[in-house]
Amino acid sequence: MDVFEAHGVTFVSVTQAFNTTTSMGRLTLNVLLSFAQFEREVIGERIRDKVAASKARGMWMGGKVPLGYDVRDRKLAVNEAEARRVRRVFELFAETGSGTETVRRLRAEIVAAKSGRPLDKGDVYKLLHNRTYAGDVAHKGQVYPGEHEAIVPRELWDRAHAVLRESPRARANRNRSQTPALLRGLVSGADGRALSPTHCRKNGRLYRYYVSQRVLKGDAAASDDGIVRRVSAAEIEAAVVGQVRALLRQPEVVVGTWLAARAEAPDLTEAETREALERLDPLWDELFPAEQARIVRLLVERVEVGPAGADIRLRVEGLTSLVQDLRAGDADALGTPA
């Protein structure tokens, strides 16, 4: 009828007293449409009431089957192989307090979703909030005991949700403060004295620095010209990592690494060496912080910070052992998701 009206068309039934060209016919149409709408709403209300009553009894009402369960006789039954994956998600999150770190470890352990694809951060948080795993059924803010068996013990559920109740920013700040400093023991000032990693918090945010030993010891002479009191950890680390990643793309470095690595791996080709070094660049952001620190320590000899900038001295000798790890595609050895 909407299409008819939009095109200025009227409707006349030859078998019934129905004619939209008259006022009575239009009244009849509106009455019929009102009853149709009323019937549809009543059916919807009855369905919603039925679903609510069934969930209050703990019944599973269909939908996408969650990881860890199969459907048997229209009820959820535990799939033990998948249930172990679900418990592992809760264990890692309760241990690390970080969704990102949990995903990295899950991928390193090849923990996949029901479809077989790797779990991402969104999947992890959906699992953590799914009360089905605690043996409950949730409906419109209400929680009822379910007919199905729980996968996650209540103690583990409570530990994971205690972490979730904490502010995400607070958790991120705590995790960053526990992250190893990439340049610990490698960075120094122009006077040759080491800069030590430190951090402080302001307005809930974490700030990391490398600070001169003379400043830490309260030496007033540290303010002399030519002495760097402190430098932003994020800035100097980004500069060093940028140099390392640029180093891996230089053709002469690839050839030099290949020639050095042939002493231990005679069958290694130049193409394999290039492929191995190119593999590290896109993987860098996925590496565990401890593994990033290991690689930086392997490739960086010294970082000297002065008023004019930073002098970054790299060593290519460390590339040989790195290529051996990358050549085999050993993502677990590098601390990356598999």
The pLDDT of residue 332: 43
d(CA 127, CA 92): 12
CATH match for 69-166 among 1.20.1530.20, 3.30.60.50, 3.90.1750.20, 3.30.930.10: 3.90.1750.20
- pLDDT tens string 61-73: 878 899 999 999 8
d(CA 189, CA 310): 9
Instruction: Say if strands 300-306 and 309-314 run parallel, antiparallel, or are unpaired.
Output: antiparallel
d(CA 215, CA 211): 7
The single-letter code of the amino acid at 195 is L
- pLDDT tens string 139-154: 887 888 988 999 999 9
Q: Which of 158, 116, 115 is nearest to 133 (CA)?
A: 158
The pLDDT of residue 333: 42
Q: Is the pTM of this model over 0.75?
A: no
Q: Which of 95, 119, 116 is nearest to 107 (CA)?
A: 119
Instruction: Say if strands 300-306 and 187-189 run parallel, antiparallel, or are unpaired.
Output: parallel
User: What DSSP element (H or E) covers 305?
Assistant: strand 300-306
d(CA 210, CA 222): 14
In this prediction, residue 302 has a pLDDT band, given cuts at 50, 70 and 90, of confident
Whether 69 contacts 82, CB under 8 Å: yes
The single-letter code of the amino acid at 17 is A
Mean pLDDT for 17-43 is: 86
* Separation in Å, CA 331 to CA 140, 161, 335: 43, 31, 6
Q: Which of 329, 319, 330 is nearest to 259 (CA)?
A: 319
- pLDDT tens string 94-134: 888 888 788 888 988 888 988 888 888 889 989 999 999 99
In this prediction, residue 326 has a pLDDT band, given cuts at 50, 70 and 90, of low
d(CA 226, CA 228): 7
A 10 A CB-CB count for 284 gives 16
Sorted by where each begins, the domain ranges of the chain are 2-56, 69-166, 187-334
In this prediction, residue 331 has a pLDDT band, given cuts at 50, 70 and 90, of very low
Q: Which of 132, 137, 157 is nearest to 68 (CA)?
A: 132
d(CA 185, CA 196): 8
Whether 95 contacts 83, CB under 8 Å: no
The pLDDT of residue 337: 43
Any bridge partners for residue 72, and if so which?
Answer: 75
Kindly compute the dihedral angle of the four CA atoms of residues 188, 190, 191, 192, in this order, to the nearest 10 degrees: 40
- pLDDT tens string 308-322: 778 888 776 666 666
The pLDDT of residue 155: 93
Mean pLDDT for 235-255 is: 80
- pLDDT tens string 184-225: 888 888 777 888 888 777 776 777 888 887 666 655 454 455
